[in-house]
Chains A and B, each alone.
Chain A
């Protein structure tokens, strides 16, 4: 017998084993695993705004907060699934303002951060230029080796805080980016001192600021992507009142560790507000335009932190547009029509817990979207406080040793959705023990000696759009699913026609976006 005999005999083993081990069949994708040539997309954007003003000016700064476009079902989408006012996934740049806006931002820049440069992904995953593909891949591999898994110690923070961040009005859609809130809070810790900082560090589970700084930098590098494949643009900025003295060392740390640029100007002026709006629109592909257009700074604001996340990727396997069907979504406020995207996965994976059932769908560049359907009688909001569900969501590779798992043919049915929400995180953070920064006890000495200052509010606006475009597939009748029951057959329907949770997880399982869809 020769080794060749084994190699040859392997050719005829069970095809299921072959499929399961194929590059791209597991949750991790090969660099060339670009199977869906057609465009199907998921786009998301978020902005976190932290305003720090003089305590005396607190009331003035507590102006009615601008609102996010609540439900933009009629948004015109371009071929990438992003709204017409958004950027193309392939040409998004960290800052893509026009010349005028660029000049304005440049004039106000106090400390410019340099984003990590990444080799470009060959267009459409084309392998014909090996050098190009290799350069891209090597850079990715290096980032993985250095940075992946750096955020594992943040899982308790995500578990504890998720329901506070998604605590909207019952029955409404709710979206947040836990990862981006983490960056905002990390920056808040960086610019604060004493007990103010200690409270934030304690929430984030960090022992000291140095550890957190290193971790934040790694988590950023593991997730930031602007190489023409998918994009995940994380951006932070600091906006200062030019009348106040700020400490350069801290600005430098923010630029180097958090890639946060600092700007300085006169809050309350049209110039200042335009610059802020241009900056946010540039970082979020215009996805939050309606929200951003209402941003107006208060002249007494000393400093604002703006933190954004902008993400887009295509489905690994597209939904076929021809099989999309009108259906009824059972929203808490009553039945409503929705367009259901459908697919059948022959090697589907179904996970379940005491109160939920879950199916995942992969995006091309290694991110995964989990669809989690609470059992009948359980609301998504309740589920986000359920220890088992949180454990399932926030544990690295949890599905690998999850007992309640079955591989079977899954007929998945997901409503197209475009959900957004906007809320203050202040109350939620206070509940989680971050209180001092909002009061006169606030200590911002690492950034400025001017006193007294306090955070007036922390606002957060996010929007996620899931869409499809494709060809044909068969349609199946729908059936209600009792989530906790083990699937009895080799085949099942997973129909998200009542409120559900979605979670966009990065390759190293950081929650990029999590949301509750009560009304798609």
Chain B
């Protein structure tokens, strides 16, 4: 079923919207949730929460295409769930890894609050569009989709070394970029 058809079901408050969404986007968002949470049970609940949130948001929201929208809602839901857990229960290695890696890109990473969330969002958008398509793809696959280096290498026909190198370069560019934009608090 195509996106506008699913959207129509949501707008008509027809519950088939959920089953059709599950059919079309279930595997995609389940994978994302599983990567972050590392537990099938949690991933399942996150998936269900995602459908519910979309159900509540549409209408009035009219996202088309739906894939990025479902993914974004799922990612946010999974991150919230992950942070609500106690550290002991934390299951997702790739999330922890990503945070550690991203520290390199955050010059003032001493826990001080970030000045302006909206500005950071805008800055990231322009930063991403300044990257080469390949570097951007690698970066997004790692920090948006939380893919393992191995998976990314396979997806993009690259060696793992090349993926790591690309990520490393992009992080260092991000650091410079954030400095220039003065988006972090200086001493």
Enumerate chain A interface residues (CB-CB to B < 8 A).
1-26, 28, 30, 32-35, 37, 125, 127-128, 130, 141, 144, 320, 343-344, 346-347, 397, 471-474
Contacts and interface: CB of A to CB of B under 8 A. Distances in A.
A343 B25 CA distance: 18
A19 B28 contact: no
Nearest to B146: A7
Nearest to B72: A11
Interface string B12-25: 00000000000111
B91 interface: no
A411 to B, nearest CB: 12
A206 B106 CA distance: 52
B67 A19 contact: yes
Given A1-B185, A2-B109, A320-B2, A127 B128 contact: no
A446 B61 CA distance: 72
B42 interface: no
Sort chain B's interface into a size bin. 35 or more
Given A4-B99, A7-B143, A18-B72, A141 B154 contact: yes
Contacts of A32: 27-28, 30-31
Given A11-B76, A26-B137, A18 B144 contact: yes
Question: For B124, B147, B150, B151, which residue has the most chain A Cβ atoms within 10 angstroms?
Answer: B124
B90 interface: no
B164 interface: no
B68 A9 contact: no
A1 B183 CA distance: 9
Contacts of B68: 15-16, 18-19, 22
A127 B29 CA distance: 12
A127 B76 CA distance: 22
Interface in B162-185: 174, 178, 183-185
Nearest to A344: B2
Contacts of A19: 65, 67-68, 71
A474 B136 CA distance: 33
A397 B64 CA distance: 29
Contact of B155 (A1, A4, A26): A26
Given A13-B124, A17-B140, A473-B5, A35 B72 contact: no
A511 to B, nearest CB: 18
A128 B39 CA distance: 11
B130 interface: no
Contacts of A8: 79, 117
Please give me the 10 A-B residue pairs with the lowest Cβ-Cβ distance, nearest first: A21-B140, A15-B68, A3-B102, A18-B68, A1-B114, A3-B99, A28-B155, A9-B120, A19-B68, A5-B114
Contacts of B140: 17-18, 20-21
Given A2-B106, A8-B79, A9-B117, A474 B4 contact: yes
Contact of A472 (B5, B101, B157): B5
A319 to B, nearest CB: 11
Contacts of B111: 2
B166 to A, nearest CB: 13
Question: For A9, A37, A343, which residue has the most chain B Cβ atoms within 10 angstroms?
Answer: A9
A178 to B, nearest CB: 21
Contacts of A33: 27-28
18 contacts: A1-B114, A1-B120, A2-B114, A5-B114, A6-B106, A10-B124, A10-B144, A12-B121, A17-B136, A17-B140, A18-B71, A19-B68, A20-B137, A33-B27, A35-B27, A37-B24, A320-B2, A473-B2
A21 B141 contact: yes
A71 B140 CA distance: 47
A231 B157 CA distance: 22
B152 to A, nearest CB: 10
Nearest to A37: B23
B112 interface: yes
